[in-house]
Structure 1
Amino acid sequence: MLRWLFPIRPTQWLGPLFAAGAVVLLLAVVVVVSGVVDLSAAKPHPQGWARFLHYTFDRSTAYHAGPQPPADLDTPVRIAAGAAYYGQVCARCHAGPGFGQNPVVLSMHPRPQYLTTDLPTARFTAPELFRIVKAGVKYSAMPSWPADRRDDEIWQLVAFLRAMPTMSPATFQRLALATPQPNAAAIPFGGVPHQTRYALRNDAEPPRASYSYRTPVFGFSGYALGGDAVATCTRCHGADGAGGGAFPNLTLQTRDYTARTLAAFAAGKRRSGYMQVIAAELSPSQIAALTDHYTALPRRATEAAAGPVPAIGQQLALVGLPSAGLGPCAACHGVDRAAAKAYPLLEGQARWYLANQMRVFRAGGRGTIAGEKVVDPMVAIARKLNDTQIEAVAAYYAAQPPAKVQSFAAREAQEQAQH
């Protein structure tokens, strides 16, 4: 009897093990097919199971922690940039200083954490926070970052999360919440004459038939349907549209370039976890109206020039770097070429923003999107520049007065008249 229960030879264990496995598998299939497992959100996870899941999540996060943070992680410019995204998206579940969590959110299981008191800096390191924000969490409502290869934006949100637990309610409201502008006209949502398909990195995820990859979308804040799109833009770009820090000056570009950029964000053809979320909510008529609004604002440089510009910055802008095979920036970003070919105008933009965008190009976060045949030359250009050169050319353009602009249509008309 004992020999039957406990065979001596290892090969004699195979039969009983396969039989036991088959029984367990059969029982699992019966349980799943019967439907007795309760997956409703009305009941929380059992305490032991919840502890197991949280432990597994903590260990997974530690194992897959992100890269080392940038040296300027906890600077005000990154914290302010992260606050803008948090107020637009994350606060809907995690609230913020001075605010509680929505009853609908607290009916979720697992419940989203109240990050103001559940100190993220006490539980997770900066690389671990980076991992959570970038990858999200399976089997919960925590999504992954909506834009691929935009690690710079993720670090901005990490900076804010580290600062929020000690932030006052007044500071939180100033940084994270949109304030309606008294003189800003409402921009009605209007009809939806056409819809544009937008691209996601997980487009192939089945079943596609049950999802809608179309813009405009029903968003988190409802600002588009409510007509207060300008207030949402003001959160990052300021009431005067001049931006600053991590956000661009919208008054410096041509109408054509701004319209194309908003449309590209809405369609997912330009990556940004910030702007794809915003632009996808806008109707085509609102994109046109916002473009008119910012084109009509007075044009001015974002910030006052701070000290002399390094000589290499002016050389890169006006002469180039022949030893590295680089032509001058002005060859494409000059006034006429920018207006005619829809390159952005750089004069007067914020220094930090320009330098950061160059680093994003260098890392592949901007440039050609999958499926696009046009190759963006800025990726190759940025990879030939070191940090010192990037900072220098950004300082040069930040110190310049805004360039005069001419619309693409006007430029074409002028060229036709000359010929």
Structure 2
Amino acid sequence: MADRYGIRGWLAAIAKLPRWLWLRLAGGSWAMVLGRLLLAATVFGLAALLFVSAGMMPVAASQGHWPITRVLLNFTMRRSVQTHALGITSPSAEEQSLGTLAMVLKGAGHYAAGCLPCHGAPGHPRAEVMLHSVPEPPYLPPMVDDWNDRELFWIVKHGIKYTAMPAWPSQRRDDEIWAMVAFLRRLPALEPAEFRRLAYGGEAAIPESGPTRPATQPQALTNCARCHGRHGEGDGNGAFPSVAGQGEPYLLASLQAYARGDRHSGVMQPVAAGLDLDEMRTMAKYYATAEGGRHGGETTDGRSDYGRDDATLAAIARGAQLAQEGSAARRVASCVECHGPRPGPRNALYPRIAGQPAAYIELQLSLFKRGDRGGTAYAGIMTTVAERLEPGDIHDLALYYSSLPANGRPGLD
């Protein structure tokens, strides 16, 4: 078998050519031989061009690829991914700031929304229609271990041409892509029930009442509840922010910014882009009036998500001072003037951040500092402020605001 398809096999086949053809190709000087080979290549190329131009190249998915085409495409894809992934470094501290569980949850939520129909999961076969595409998207759980973390990152971020595997919708959110990689690493070992818990967040049912239009809104609410909780309370692990009680104008403006791509997120952009303006208004109104509350610096089982030792209390105190007074020397304005807690009216397009998870606040400030967050028309203000913050400032501010309950009263007692 090796001889049949190896070098000797090819030589034997060539030797069977008519003697006159062999002599014309190989006879004479090297220049003549090279000229003849170039001529033969030109003729072959023109014939191939004519073949394609005549529409004779089969492109029907119903026919599949020729075996040799499938082998060459798969080899080319794997070698390209392996080569391009060599330059990818491990995720930074900012990109891992949510912690392993929160990253897995974040990746799982998007996998259920965007990847499941093509790639399946334990207890969830691939959609039947996808089994008839060429190439057929693989059932992913048994194949994850074929790739290392860098290669998975590259595939998720950039996609694969000619396979219907899309690139990540936002190329500026590597933290989201690393979250997907963290989930994919867990995927092969998951049981169906565990996958459903991670991907759908347990009870993600549609609320029994509220300002919703039953004919059009249930699916939108279900999609939101998957990550943000049934009443918008978040998940308590820092993976997703609480949206309950947030200002209606801010929620609407944020959904519009996501849909336009002005606020960068490969997770939220596809969700928001699928809503029309009436649906966005309904979602904003529902969550603005929801009473889910926020975990206020605690996980779902009541444990503090940062631990109040002396170092943490000192960091919260520093964060409180910076939030309330700002820093004139560094031209950092007071945070409470826009985000509270303080009495008096505020701009309705400024978000309330008291009680949000510390890791979430820290990530958002870091994204602002890098210029990778985007947002509403006021996002430029935060980008300027965040650029003047040191990493320690960001950490302290995140702990301070996370220590506050959603009503904004200090929670240091």
CA contact (8 A) 1:87 1:177 kept: yes
Which residue, 355, 366, 383 being the options, matches 1:359? 366
Structure 1: gaps of 5 or more residues? 191-224, 405-419
Identity of aligned residues (%): 35
Q: Is residue 61 of structure 2 the alignment partner of residue 41 of structure 1?
A: yes
Write out aligned runs for 1:1-400 (5 A). Answer: 5-8=26-29, 10=31, 15-65=35-85, 66-70=88-92, 72=96, 75-118=100-143, 120=144, 122-177=145-200, 179-181=204-206, 183-184=208-209, 187-188=212-213, 225=216, 227-243=218-234, 244=236, 245-298=238-291, 300-302=293-295, 303-304=297-298, 306-307=307-308, 308-309=312-313, 310=315, 311-334=317-340, 339-340=346-347, 342-367=349-374, 376-400=380-404
Q: CA deviation at 1:85?
A: 0.3
Kindly report the root-mean-square deviation, in angstroms, between the aligned alpha carbons of the 2 structures.
Answer: 2.9
CA contact (8 A) 1:88 1:177 kept: no
1:132–1:336 distance in 2 versus 1, CA, 3 Å: farther
CA contact (8 A) 1:152 1:360 kept: no
Q: CA deviation at 1:262?
A: 1.3
SS at match of 1:117: helix
CA distance in 2, matches of 1:8, 1:338: 91
Given the two structures, how large is their TM-score scaled by the length of structure 1? 0.78
Amino acid at match of 2:270: V
Q: CA deviation at 1:19?
A: 2.6
CA contact (8 A) 2:169 2:266 kept: yes
CA distance in 1, matches of 2:222, 2:272: 14
1:105–1:380 distance in 2 versus 1, CA, 3 Å: same
Structure 1 or 2, whichever has the larger Rg, is 2
CA distance in 1, matches of 2:27, 2:39: 15
1:337–1:82 distance in 2 versus 1, CA, 3 Å: farther
How many pairs are equivalent? 365
CA contact (8 A) 1:186 1:227 kept: no
CA distance in 2, matches of 1:7, 1:313: 85
Q: Deviations over 1:8-36 (max 9, x none)?
A: 465x5664354334312211211101111
CA distance in 2, matches of 1:336, 1:148: 39
2:10 counterpart residue number: none
2:3 counterpart residue number: none
CA contact (8 A) 1:254 1:339 kept: no
Amino acid at match of 1:151: D
SS at match of 1:100: coil
Q: Deviations over 1:237-256 (max 9, x none)?
A: 11221214121211242111
Q: Deviations over 1:145-185 (max 9, x none)?
A: 11230111111111111111111211111221373235245
Q: CA deviation at 1:7?
A: 4.8
1:108–1:378 distance in 2 versus 1, CA, 3 Å: same
SS at match of 1:324: coil
SS at match of 2:185: helix
Q: Deviations over 1:269-295 (max 9, x none)?
A: 222111111112222222111111111
CA contact (8 A) 1:180 1:228 kept: no
CA distance in 1, matches of 2:58, 2:182: 39
CA distance in 2, matches of 1:164, 1:338: 47
CA distance in 1, matches of 2:177, 2:288: 30
CA distance in 1, matches of 2:124, 2:355: 38
